[in-house]
Chains A and B, each alone.
Chain A
């Protein structure tokens, strides 16, 4: 089953032609409409006229999360605000979120890409799809929602959490597809066992799982416990949200919707393109987006690209599961967390440089984040209640910044390891 066979099974030459045409137009558009891109290109001596085909893409400067922060909130938009019909946001590296805007056409384009993904994962209009990603500023919920509707499946917009209700609807409605994070899928499986429900008694057959890294072992566990096919879907809000790429039922890499999102692999140190098939940092250029087109956006995800034709018949390039990050971003319960966000919260609460350590664990298949903070003089009080209030205040401030619950533990000064003068900020004990 293909949603758009002409594109998904197109020859490499046909894809290159589409990409070239779209890139040329996009470069021209961003140069004319976004001051920061014009400045960036002028500074490197690139004019739109020099970009004649997709092969010229490596002449263009990169875009990073910092660029989006510097142009917060709407400075990177390429169309007037009255053409923006929706905004989403994800966490930035510090206090400011990363904001993205969609035109009417962008929503349509995004929906089609998600529909393609669902279709290649074996979902069809007869399916009953439970969208258990969070709805809101996060792109997961609404992204899948529009995609399932576009596909013509029955959409249940249940959002994340409330696991018993999720299970009740699975039983009563006969849901056949669940869309959520892989760790939440495992959690649902656990609750099923607790409730004494045999997964075979449910109609569930496919999981569209993403928004956080997960291993092949985790896939096996999910497939065994929920008796479903677990499909990996990839995306990031800066590029569009979920639906940038997705596995087909072969589960052999995620097909990139490369007629809209052009992928490159670069060496994160030298920033030079890597030879085909090598692992490096994934970079995307959106070549059809109107609201916030991004050229050579550095995702910081490490992976490699596979150009061979897939068993499913698709020619769209595949990306492997991400092998890690080239920065210190953590993904916790599907939420992006940067150590620098926590640092800025602590800095606001004290005058001197805070020492802290983030400890990430996976307990009962749910990620937990513990933050140890050294009690230095500026924090210390002789009274238990003061220290407990301090703990509560740190917790509340961090939670409102990150949007996920955390635990805060006060520790003695100098207990957090310093390496070459710089503290190690993160211990990730999850076995992903």
Chain B
């Protein structure tokens, strides 16, 4: 249930994101979801890809500061109130979240979550019968 997300350090200057996209594209690696957290000087690209290990290798070879980060992906219905329900569980069970981002496809929404404690988060979500996306499924999207 653990998803390997790529985290890439990017300077705030033009062309850097494209450089990552191009390298991954050339290696035929698809990006399923991504988000960028930014400050005035730099940003961190967080991206779920079809082949994390290979992507890590390629970006390292090209001198990017990059690491794999464990995240979980929650699947919930693409309708009002669905996210709130999930968040309330995490809140009640006291699972702090570092960051999250989401994308929806048709009737379902995928929410990528980086909890402080990945294992505990998975246990809690499963206990409450929430659906988690398998890494093999997510990488294929």
A382 to B66, CA, bound (A): 9
* B16 near A412: Cβ-Cβ < 8 Å: yes
CB distance from B15 to the nearest CB of A (A): 12
B-side interface size class:
20 to 34
* Interface-side segment among A30-38, A74-82, A383-391: A383-391
A377 to B64, CA, bound (A): 9
**A412 partner residues in chain B, CB cutoff 8 A:** 9-11, 16, 63-65
Q: Check if A136 is an interface residue, CB within 8 A of chain B.
A: no
Residue from the list A387, A409, A414, A415 in contact with B44, Cβ < 8 A: A387
A409 to B46, CA, bound (A): 21
Given A375-B65, A412-B63, also A382-B46 (CB < 8 A): yes
CB distance from A356 to the nearest CB of B (A): 15
* B42 near A410: Cβ-Cβ < 8 Å: yes
Q: Check if A411 is an interface residue, CB within 8 A of chain B.
A: yes
A238 to B74, CA, bound (A): 66
**A410 partner residues in chain B, CB cutoff 8 A:** 9, 41-42
Q: Check if A380 is an interface residue, CB within 8 A of chain B.
A: yes
**A380 partner residues in chain B, CB cutoff 8 A:** 7, 9, 65-67
**A414 partner residues in chain B, CB cutoff 8 A:** 63
Q: Check if A376 is an interface residue, CB within 8 A of chain B.
A: yes
**B101 partner residues in chain A, CB cutoff 8 A:** none
The 0/1 profile, CB within 8 Å of B marked 1, for residues 386-399 of chain A is: 01100000000000
Q: Check if B94 is an interface residue, CB within 8 A of chain A.
A: no
Q: Check if A403 is an interface residue, CB within 8 A of chain B.
A: no
* B98 near A383: Cβ-Cβ < 8 Å: yes
A115 to B27, CA, bound (A): 74
Q: Check if B18 is an interface residue, CB within 8 A of chain A.
A: no
* A384 near B9: Cβ-Cβ < 8 Å: no
A378 to B40, CA, bound (A): 22
CB distance from A407 to the nearest CB of B (A): 9
Which residues of B37-69 are within 8 A (CB) of A? Answer: 37, 39, 41-42, 44, 46, 63-67, 69
A413 to B9, CA, bound (A): 9
A384 to B46, CA, bound (A): 11
The closest CB in chain A to the CB of B16 belongs to A412
The closest CB in chain B to the CB of A384 belongs to B37
A411 to B64, CA, bound (A): 10
**B7 partner residues in chain A, CB cutoff 8 A:** 380, 382
State the main secondary structure of chain B at its contact with A: strand
* Interface Cβ pair total, 8 Å cutoff: 49
* A388 near B39: Cβ-Cβ < 8 Å: yes
* A383 near B65: Cβ-Cβ < 8 Å: no
* A377 near B11: Cβ-Cβ < 8 Å: no
Given A376-B65, A380-B67, A382-B67, also A409-B41 (CB < 8 A): yes
State the main secondary structure of chain A at its contact with B: loop
* A382 near B63: Cβ-Cβ < 8 Å: no
* B67 near A413: Cβ-Cβ < 8 Å: no
A377 to B68, CA, bound (A): 12
Which residues of A77-127 are within 8 A (CB) of B? Answer: none
* B65 near A382: Cβ-Cβ < 8 Å: no
A125 to B38, CA, bound (A): 60
* A377 near B42: Cβ-Cβ < 8 Å: no
A379 to B65, CA, bound (A): 9
* A377 near B67: Cβ-Cβ < 8 Å: yes
Q: Check if B103 is an interface residue, CB within 8 A of chain A.
A: no
A124 to B124, CA, bound (A): 82
* A413 near B63: Cβ-Cβ < 8 Å: yes
CB distance from A90 to the nearest CB of B (A): 32
The closest CB in chain B to the CB of A379 belongs to B65
A379 to B114, CA, bound (A): 20
Which residues of A257-278 are within 8 A (CB) of B? Answer: none
A409 to B9, CA, bound (A): 13
A383 to B46, CA, bound (A): 10
CB distance from A354 to the nearest CB of B (A): 13
Which residues of B86-141 are within 8 A (CB) of A? Answer: 98-99, 114
CB distance from A392 to the nearest CB of B (A): 12
The closest CB in chain B to the CB of A410 belongs to B42
CB distance from A377 to the nearest CB of B (A): 7
A377 to B67, CA, bound (A): 8
CB distance from A346 to the nearest CB of B (A): 16
**A409 partner residues in chain B, CB cutoff 8 A:** 41-42
CB distance from B68 to the nearest CB of A (A): 9
**B46 partner residues in chain A, CB cutoff 8 A:** 382
The closest CB in chain A to the CB of B69 belongs to A382
**A376 partner residues in chain B, CB cutoff 8 A:** 65
A and B contact pairs by CB, cutoff 8 A, 19 listed: A375-B9, A375-B42, A377-B67, A379-B65, A380-B9, A380-B66, A382-B7, A382-B44, A382-B67, A383-B44, A384-B37, A384-B44, A388-B39, A410-B41, A410-B42, A411-B42, A412-B10, A413-B64, A415-B11
Which 8 A-B pairs give the minimum distances between C-beta atoms?
A: A382-B7, A414-B63, A380-B65, A382-B69, A375-B65, A413-B63, A375-B9, A412-B11
Q: Chain B residues in contact with chain A, CB under 8 A?
A: 7, 9-11, 16, 37, 39, 41-42, 44, 46, 63-67, 69, 98-99, 114
Give me 4 other A-B pairs in contact (C-beta within 8 A), A376-B65, A387-B9, A412-B16 excluded. Answer: A375-B42, A382-B69, A387-B44, A409-B41
